[in-house]
Structure 1
Amino acid sequence: MKRVALCLALLLGMSQAAQAHFGMVIPSQSVVEDKAKANIALNVSFIHPMEMNGMDMAKPLEFAVVSAEGKTDLLPGLKEAKVLGHKAWQGAFAPKKPGLYTFYTVPAPYWEPAEDKFIQHITKVAVPAFGDEEGWDKPLGLKTEIVPLTRPFGNYAGNIFSGQVLLDGKPVAGCEVEVEFYNKDKKYTAPNDHMNTQVVKTDAGGVFHFVAPWAGWWGFAALNDASETIKKDGKDKKIELGAVMWLEFVAPKTAKK
């Protein structure tokens, strides 16, 4: 019986490992053009986006938007919501001036028994408003983040996205970057478990590249271990720091004749 239990535990662990965790900050619109429809709803959650399996997310430690005018704390307006039947959060923001608005969240570390570590995905998304997009290639100064080298909006499906992974402000060489599609409508099914999560690695300068094969929201999670640990059951446990960024790739519209 012990051998059977061990085998089941290993199988369960393998199954969980096949599903990549992603912090999510998904805006209701990736580009704001109409002042009459400027309100942006923001869904904040922690899920397996390709398989569309949810997990409970504690209230974030930080939730804010950064623009040319500085940082605006959005945490007080964050409301509890449900995503895939699990605890999540929803915020809102309406830009009033032209500019680039980058939303980010710092979640509380999440304990993952299957990996014997804590997970903390610092997640961001950039939304331009009213024709101004200046500053899309600037870091926010987060503990870890992906700095886009390709404009992180206004991209067609099939475009290449390039980014640089920073940890404590420094490029990270040889870092694994997991990439997943937000399969919101469950339109796609992966042929096998390896296809759920795409994986690329950074070069010596911390730079990676990825081509989005079809339209929709795609998440990029650059994974590193934090220098600090967290005590659990009297033992020091590692913290997986994820620098996560979400981009929408769009299919072109057919011209009317």
Structure 2
Amino acid sequence: MKKILIALIASIALFAAAASAHAHFGMLIPDTSIVSPEKKTINMELSFAHPFELAGMDLVKPKKFSVYHEGKETDLLSSLKKSKFLGHNGFTTSFKFKRPGMYTFFMEPTPYPEPAEDNYIIHYTKTIVSAFNEGEDWNKPLGVKTEIVPLTRPWGNYSGNVFQGIVLLDGKPAPYTRVEVELYNKDSKYKAPYECMVTQEVLCDANGVFTFACPKSGWWGFAALNDADYKIKGKTVELGAVLWIEMFSY
């Protein structure tokens, strides 16, 4: 009887751990995705969290944080300042735009150990900002380990618009990749009718392309997930290609 009771308790504990293992997202959220000439400086938050439920996790200093503009990469790692996000460690920074065009901000985090899933998580996270209503090369990859390359312009979209992207892994399309999607529920404005609706899911097609219609305004995160071909300390590694886009209401 004692053995049965122990087994039952262990099963309940495992079930609870699985039920609480909601989607993780590297987060790279600026004030806005469209910068006007009147306001040349933006602030940005870097964090790791469950964005819809507003549950934070600690983000240690990233391995890399940079911005790409007109084919040139600029290291911004030294600009990061420690901060708190949802009660957990994160970072903030600011950036002043001096020239028009498209700016892609990119973060490669330090691998995150996740006991609930017995693995490590690395989310290669980016967001794209249009400065002074300019930018035409939004469909070009950065060439990082894994990323989502937009097939829809990643700024200036209305809520309800369809967004498409192609998932690349080692520079090649990743067919049938699972893509998790969440809204950054910043002001706790929304409540999901069912727990399964907190995180939306869509699969890429045979060409690595996914399609999703964002029903609300705000920041939407897309996390395309694949397992790495290596391990860290004997544990599997989840590679996430994460892209954040902003949707506007009329």
Is TM (by shorter chain) over 0.5? yes
Q: Secondary structure at the match of 2:182?
A: strand
Query: Which residue of 2 is the match for residue 204 of structure 1?
Result: 206
Query: Which residue of 2 is the match for residue 142 of structure 1?
Result: 144
Do structure 1's residue 217 and structure 2's residue 219 form an aligned pair?
Answer: yes
Q: Secondary structure at the match of 1:13?
A: helix
- Aligned CA-pair RMSD: 1.0
Query: Which residue of 1 is the match for residue 10 of structure 2?
Result: 6
Selected match of 1:184 from 183, 186, 189: 186
Supply the AA of the counterpart residue of 1:125: T
**Whole-angstrom distance in 2 between the partners of 1:248 and 1:60:** 23
**Whole-angstrom distance in 1 between the partners of 2:140 and 2:131:** 17
**Whole-angstrom distance in 2 between the partners of 1:149 and 1:40:** 25
Q: Secondary structure at the match of 2:34?
A: coil
Query: Which residue of 2 is the match for residue 59 of structure 1?
Result: 61
Supply the AA of the counterpart residue of 1:213: P
Q: Deviations over 1:31-77 (max 9, x none)?
A: 01124x21111100000001110001111000000001511111001
Q: Which moved more, 1:156-165 or 1:5-14?
A: 5-14
Supply the AA of the counterpart residue of 1:176: R
1:14 CA drift (Å) = 2.2
**Whole-angstrom distance in 1 between the partners of 2:72 and 2:57:** 32
Selected match of 2:114 from 102, 112, 115: 112
**Whole-angstrom distance in 2 between the partners of 1:229 and 1:16:** 24
**Whole-angstrom distance in 1 between the partners of 2:182 and 2:32:** 19
Query: Which residue of 2 is the match for residue 156 of structure 1?
Result: 158
Q: TM-score, normalised by structure 1?
A: 0.93
Query: Which residue of 1 is the match for residue 40 of structure 2?
Result: 38
Query: Which residue of 2 is the match for residue 128 of structure 1?
Result: 130
Query: Which residue of 2 is the match for residue 100 of structure 1?
Result: 102
Selected match of 1:16 from 17, 20, 26: 20
**Whole-angstrom distance in 2 between the partners of 1:95 and 1:5:** 56
Q: Secondary structure at the match of 1:114?
A: coil
**Whole-angstrom distance in 1 between the partners of 2:26 and 2:133:** 28
Q: Deviations over 1:167-191 (max 9, x none)?
A: 0000001100000000010001111
1:4 CA drift (Å) = 4.5
Q: Deviations over 1:217-239 (max 9, x none)?
A: 100000001111111xxxx1111
Do structure 1's residue 28 and structure 2's residue 31 form an aligned pair?
Answer: yes
Q: TM-score, normalised by structure 2?
A: 0.96
Query: Which residue of 2 is the match for residue 255 of structure 1?
Result: none
**Whole-angstrom distance in 1 between the partners of 2:52 and 2:237:** 24
1:11 CA drift (Å) = 3.0
Query: Which residue of 2 is the match for residue 247 of structure 1?
Result: 245
Percent identity of paired positions between Structure 1 and Structure 2:
54
Q: Deviations over 1:101-135 (max 9, x none)?
A: 00010001101111111001000000010121121
Q: Secondary structure at the match of 1:115?
A: coil
Supply the AA of the counterpart residue of 2:236: K
**Whole-angstrom distance in 2 between the partners of 1:11 and 1:172:** 31
Supply the AA of the counterpart residue of 1:219: G
**Whole-angstrom distance in 1 between the partners of 2:232 and 2:180:** 24
**Whole-angstrom distance in 2 between the partners of 1:237 and 1:143:** 19
Supply the AA of the counterpart residue of 1:161: F
Q: Deviations over 1:116-166 (max 9, x none)?
A: 110010000000101211211110111000000000000000000000000
The size of the alignment, in residue pairs, is: 246
Q: Deviations over 1:70-100 (max 9, x none)?
A: 1111100101100010000111111100110
